[in-house]
C-alpha cells in the first residue's frame, strides 16, 4: 500500500474539518447558510478555472456532452455536504454532526465497495472489512454520544429530520468521489485533464446552490445575503479552496485505495483535526474537553480503518 497516498487521504480529511469551521464563519458573516454555500462554491469554481489555465487548459470539455448523465451529478454531493455543515453545526453541535456524517460516509462507501456500485471494482467480501466497518460505525456512535446537543435542540421535534439530513449528507459525500472518478475518465479519454472534470463538478454545485438560494428567497421573501465585512477572518474564505482540493484528490485516490479505505482515512483525518480544533478552540470554535468517550470513539475509528485498509 502506498503510504504517501494514505497520508494524503488523512490530510484531506483534516482539511474537511478546517473547511467546516471556515464555512461557519462565512455563514455568520453573510447571515445566510445558502448564500455562504453559494459563495464558497463560487470561490472553488474560480480557483479551479484559474488552475485549469495553467494545467493543460480545457481540452476534453466536449466529452461532457457524451458522458452518461449520472456521471455529471457528482457536484450535488458538494452542495449537500457544505450546506449540511453550515445548517447542522449550530443546531446539533460540530461533534454530533460530524459523527452522523461519518456514519453516512462509511455505510455508503462499504456498500459501494461490496456491491461494485458506481463503476467501482467490486471488493470480495472480507470478514475484516465487515468488522472494520462495524468498528468505524461504533466509533462514530461514541463520537455522537459524547457530543452534548445545544439546549435548544435537545428536545427539538425536528431532531430526527436533522439527523437523517446529516446521514444523507455523509452518504452524498461518499458517493461523490466514485462518480467524479468516472467523469474524470470520460474527460481524459476526450483528451482533457482531471481539472476539467473537477471544474464541471464544482460549477454544477455552484449553479445548484445559486438556484436554491434564489428559490428560497422567493418563497420566504427573505433578505439577500450580506457581504462579509472586515470582521470576518481572512481564512473564512478558504472553504472553497479546500473543497476544490477534495474534488480533485478523491478521484485520484479512490481507484487505488478503494472507496471504503479512502473515506475511512479521510474520516480519521477529520476526527484528528476536529479534536485539535475543539481542544484548543481553534478557528473561533468553542473549546470542548476531550472526554474519554470521544477518545474511545476515535480509537475505534482508527482500528476500523486499519482493519479495512491493511488486513
Q: Which residues contact 45 (CB under 8 A, 6 or more apart)?
A: 199, 202, 203, 206, 240, 244
- What is the DSSP-derived secondary structure letter of residue 31? T
Q: 241, 240, 123, 118: which is closest to 180 by C-alpha? A: 118
Main-chain dihedrals φ then ψ at residue 156, nearest 5 degrees: -70, 125
Side-chain-facing half-sphere of 28: CA atoms under 13 Å: 14
pTM, two decimal places: 0.84
Residue-range domain boundaries for the chain: 3-310
Q: 93, 106, 151: which is closest to 277 by C-alpha? A: 93
Per-residue confidence in pLDDT tens, the chain, 311 aa = 578 888 999 999 999 888 888 888 898 899 888 898 899 999 999 999 999 888 877 888 888 989 999 999 999 998 898 888 888 877 777 777 877 888 888 889 888 988 899 988 887 777 888 888 888 888 878 877 776 665 544 455 577 788 899 999 999 999 999 999 999 999 999 888 899 999 999 999 999 999 989 998 888 888 888 888 878 888 999 999 998 999 999 998 988 888 888 888 888 888 888 888 878 888 877 777 778 887 888 788 778 877 876 66
C-alpha cell of residue 164: 437523517
Amino acid at each position: 500500500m502506498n503510504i504517501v497516498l494514505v497520508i494524503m487521504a488523512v490530510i484531506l480529511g483534516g482539511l474537511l474539518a478546517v473547511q467546516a469551521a471556515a464555512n461557519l464563519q462565512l455563514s455568520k458573516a453573510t447571515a445566510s447558510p445558502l448564500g455562504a454555500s453559494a459563495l464558497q462554491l463560487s470561490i472553488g469554481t474560480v480557483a479551479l478555472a484559474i488552475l485549469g489555465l495553467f494545467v493543460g487548459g480545457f481540452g476534453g470539455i466536449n466529452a461532457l456532452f457524451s458522458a452518461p448523465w449520472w456521471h455529471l451529478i457528482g457536484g450535488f454531493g458538494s452542495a449537500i455536504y457544505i450546506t449540511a455543515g453550515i445548517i447542522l453545526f449550530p443546531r446539533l453541535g460540530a461533534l454530533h454532526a460530524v459523527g452522523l456524517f461519518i456514519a453516512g460516509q462509511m455505510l455508503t462507501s462499504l456498500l459501494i465497495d461490496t456491491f461494485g456500485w458506481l463503476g467501482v471494482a467490486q471488493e470480495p467480501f472480507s470478514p475484516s472489512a465487515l468488522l472494520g466497518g462495524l468498528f468505524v460505525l461504533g466509533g462514530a456512535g461514541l463520537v455522537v454520544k459524547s457530543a452534548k446537543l445545544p439546549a435548544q435542540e435537545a428536545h427539538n421535534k425536528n431532531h430526527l429530520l436533522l439527523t437523517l439530513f446529516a446521514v444523507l449528507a455523509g452518504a452524498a459525500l461518499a458517493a461523490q468521489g466514485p462518480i467524479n472518478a468516472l467523469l474524470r475518465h470520460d474527460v481524459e479519454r476526450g483528451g482533457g485533464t482531471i481539472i476539467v472534470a473537477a471544474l464541471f463538478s464544482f460549477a454544477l454545485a455552484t449553479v445548484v446552490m445559486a438556484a436554491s438560494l434564489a428559490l428560497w428567497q422567493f418563497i420566504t421573501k427573505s433578505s439577500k445575503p450580506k457581504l462579509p465585512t472586515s470582521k470576518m477572518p481572512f481564512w473564512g474564505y478558504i472553504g472553497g479552496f479546500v473543497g476544490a482540493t477534495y474534488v480533485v484528490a478523491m478521484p485520484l485516490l479512490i481507484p487505488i485505495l478503494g472507496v471504503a479505505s479512502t473515506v475511512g482515512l479521510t474520516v480519521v483525518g477529520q476526527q484528528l483535526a476536529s479534536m485539535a480544533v475543539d481542544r484548543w478552540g481553534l478557528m473561533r470554535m468553542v473549546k470542548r474537553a476531550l472526554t474519554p468517550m470521544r477518545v474511545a470513539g476515535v480509537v475505534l475509528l482508527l482500528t476500523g480503518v486499519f482493519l479495512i485498509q491493511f488486513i
